[in-house]
């Protein structure tokens, strides 16, 4: 498995694969890998000759008061997981931005509402870094989890609008046995908070069979002990919700 630290050297490796006619699947991540990420990698492994995982905690998608500095970075464990999953190359750059970086990719419609209410600059950071990662890895296909439903919607729109020659492959949410969607941020939860957090997947599951799922879920989550409601929103056929458990923000969604 190759470990690559610059966009330029990633391009050179991907170009050499493409010249041989090999297809490339990219799985963009921020690391602290879990079974959700590995499910994306496994799908990419089945569908492509070469698999690249990028591990990069992208500063431009974090707000000033968010967890950028304390975001977990267990690099050696992540590399071992990638090796075990048969990844060909891991792109883990120290930085992707020149000091005087001044070019942004901004999607302005799908990036409104839902997570953008509390994270107004988040998706501009996501679209910008994802296009940069595409330009580095030159993938045929890129894999994104439906856990971040709005992210899938925004990236799909960006790729369509800008004629980016990459197929976006959405992957279903991977959950723990108790129902909580796997997330790198779950490790911030205390035992007590984790129990409280389970109301999110449970109420979401109940909500989708109600007559007015959005209103029902909003009310139910507002009453759930230990949770502070961020939003409930029906978008693109999915009921999406975000809550705070203590200072940890969790998101989840279900098809309706």
Best CA proximity match to 47, nearest among 137, 167, 135, 129:
167
- ∠ CA 134-145-209, nearest 5°, is 150
Residue closest to ligand AMP when measured from CB atoms: 145
Q: Which residues bind ligand AMP (CB under 6 A)?
A: 29-30, 36-37, 40, 144-145, 147-148, 171, 173-174, 181-184
Q: How far is CA 103 from CA 29, 37, 124, 128, in A?
A: 22, 29, 11, 8
Which H/E stretch holds residue 82?
Answer: helix 75-84
Q: How far is CA 220 from the centre of its chain?
A: 26
| Shortest distance, position 215 Cβ to ligand AMP, whole Å | 26
CB of 243 to ligand AMP, least distance (A): 16
Euclidean distance between CA atoms 88 and 103, whole angstroms: 30
Q: Are the C-beta atoms of residues 216 and 183 closer than 8 Å to each other?
A: no
* Pair 230, 117: CB distance under 8 Å: yes
* Catalytic positions, written as ranges: 37
Closer residue to ligand AMP in complex, CB, 22/42: 42
| Sign, CA torsion 34/248/90/11 | positive
Residue 19 C-beta: closest distance to ligand AMP, Å: 28
Question: 52 vs 216, which CB is nearer to ligand AMP?
Answer: 52
Tell me how far, at minimum, the Cβ of 167 lies from ligand AMP, in Å. 15
């Amino acid at each position: 498995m190759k470990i690559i630290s610059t966009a330029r050297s990633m391009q050179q490796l991907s170009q050499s694969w493409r010249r041989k006619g090999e297809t490339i699947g990219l799985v963009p991540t921020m690391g602290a890998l879990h079974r959700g990420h590995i499910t994306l990698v496994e799908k990419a492994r089945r569908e492509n000759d070469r698999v690249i995982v990028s591990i990069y905690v992208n500063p431009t998608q974090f707000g000033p008061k968010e967890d950028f500095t304390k975001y977990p970075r267990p690099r050696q464990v992540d590399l071992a997981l990638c090796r075990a999953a048969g990844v060909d190359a891991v792109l883990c750059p120290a930085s992707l931005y020149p000091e005087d970086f001044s070019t942004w990719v901004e999607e302005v419609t799908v990036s409104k509402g839902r997570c953008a209410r509390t994270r107004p600059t988040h998706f501009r950071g996501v679209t910008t870094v994802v296009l940069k990662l595409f330009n580095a890895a030159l993938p045929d296909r890129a894999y994104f989890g439906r856990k971040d439903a709005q992210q899938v919607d925004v990236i799909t729109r960006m790729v369509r609008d800008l004629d980016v020659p990459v197929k976006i492959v959405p992957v279903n949410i991977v959950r723990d046995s108790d129902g909580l969607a796997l997330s790198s941020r779950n490790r911030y939860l205390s035992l007590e908070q984790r129990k409280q957090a389970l109301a999110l997947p449970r109420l979401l599951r109940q909500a989708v069979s109600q007559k007015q799922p959005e209103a029902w879920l909003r009310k139910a989550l507002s009453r759930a002990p230990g949770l502070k409601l961020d939003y409930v929103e029906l978008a693109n056929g999915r009921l999406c919700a975000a809550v705070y458990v203590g200072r940890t923000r969790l998101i989840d969604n279900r098809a309706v």
